[in-house]
């Protein structure tokens, strides 16, 4: 199911949630900020989908993190965004 909607998943999420997903993401990042900023912290986003939360976490941590999802098309759509972290 997710593979078929991967190319439009983020847009659908924004529209169907009335952008509440953006608030949730920023709230989540704020809640784990102390952990993200620890240089020895290891952070993994399981079932990360297209990686919206993972990208927000990476921006705050100022380093690359690890994301995993069972649906390859969801990950493939975000691949270009993650390349910036090397």
Question: Which of helix, strand or coil describes residue 44?
Answer: strand
Q: What's the pLDDT score for residue 33?
A: 97
Written as tens digits, the pLDDT of the chain (86 aa) is 777 877 788 888 889 899 999 999 999 999 999 999 998 999 999 999 889 999 999 999 999 899 999 998 888 866 545 545 44
Q: Please give the Cα distance from 42 to 38 (Å, whole number).
A: 9
Q: DSSP label at 7?
A: G
Question: What pTM did the predictor assign?
Answer: 0.82
Contact between residue 39 and residue 16 where contact means Cβ atoms under 8 Å apart: no
């Amino acid at each position: 199911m997710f593979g078929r909607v991967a190319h439009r998943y983020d847009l659908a999420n924004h529209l169907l949630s009335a952008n509440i997903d953006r608030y949730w993401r920023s709230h989540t990042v704020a809640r784990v900020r102390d952990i993200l900023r620890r240089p020895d912290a290891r952070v993994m986003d399981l079932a990360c989908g297209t990686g919206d939360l993972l990208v927000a976490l990476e921006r705050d941590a100022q380093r690359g993190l690890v994301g995993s999802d069972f649906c390859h098309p969801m990950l493939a759509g975000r691949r270009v965004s993650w390349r910036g972290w090397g």
